[in-house]
């Protein structure tokens, strides 16, 4: 049995400190954390996504159609992150990959 400062994952059986490093938060739990450790939670989520990919993509498409401005904003933010990474990798801004990312970014947000 785990003490007050730790929790045993109900999936893998390992005992970890009861912190956000090892467990996701959960408001309706008496101790405020999920029952599965983060690693098990990620594995379960990954397996669920792999076995229900079509459902996830359909739901994502419906959300994007219902919220086009938010979907565009998220895509733009992802491009900014990618462009920022390219700047670090290609500081001279002359590489074809950097140029392609720059063009894609301008297509998504021509006013910026």
What angle separates helix 68-89 from helix 53-66, to the nearest 10 degrees? 110
Residue with tokens 């989520």: 45
Q: Tokens 């049995």: give the residue.
A: 1
pLDDT in tens, 62-76: 888 888 888 778 877
Q: How would DSSP label each residue in 27-64?
A: TTSTTSB-SS-HHHHHHHHHHHHHHSHHHHHHHHHHHH
The predicted-structure confidence for 40-52, as pLDDT tens digits, reads as follows 999 999 998 889 8
* Model pLDDT for residues 93-107, shown as the tens digit of each residue: 777 877 777 787 677
pLDDT bin (cut points 50, 70, 90) of residue 108 is low
How does DSSP classify residue 33?
Answer: B
pLDDT for the residue numbered 22: 95
Tokens for 82?
């990618």
Q: Token pair 């419906």 is at which residue?
A: 62
pLDDT at 107: 73
Please give the helix or strand (H or E) that residue 17 lies within, else none. Answer: strand 15-17
Q: If you search the block for the tokens 């669920």, which residue do you land on?
A: 48
Which pLDDT score, from 0 to 100, does residue 38 have? 94
Query: Which two structure tokens, joined as six digits, stand for 83?
Result: 């462009």
CB 82 within 8 A of CB 101: yes
Please report, rounded to a whole number, the percentage of residues in the chain having pLDDT higher than 90.
37
Mean pLDDT of the chain: 83
């Amino acid at each position: 049995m785990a003490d007050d400062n730790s929790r045993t994952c109900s999936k893998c059986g390992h005992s970890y400190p009861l912190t956000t490093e090892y467990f996701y938060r959960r408001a309706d739990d008496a101790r405020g954390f999920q029952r599965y450790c983060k690693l098990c939670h990620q594995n379960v989520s990954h397996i669920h996504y792999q076995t229900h990919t079509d459902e996830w993509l359909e739901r994502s498409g419906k959300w994007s159609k219902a919220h086009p401005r938010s979907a565009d904003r998220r895509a733009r933010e992802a491009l900014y992150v990618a462009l920022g990474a390219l700047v670090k990798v290609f500081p001279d801004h002359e590489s074809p990959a950097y140029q392609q990312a720059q063009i894609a970014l301008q297509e998504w947000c021509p006013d910026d």
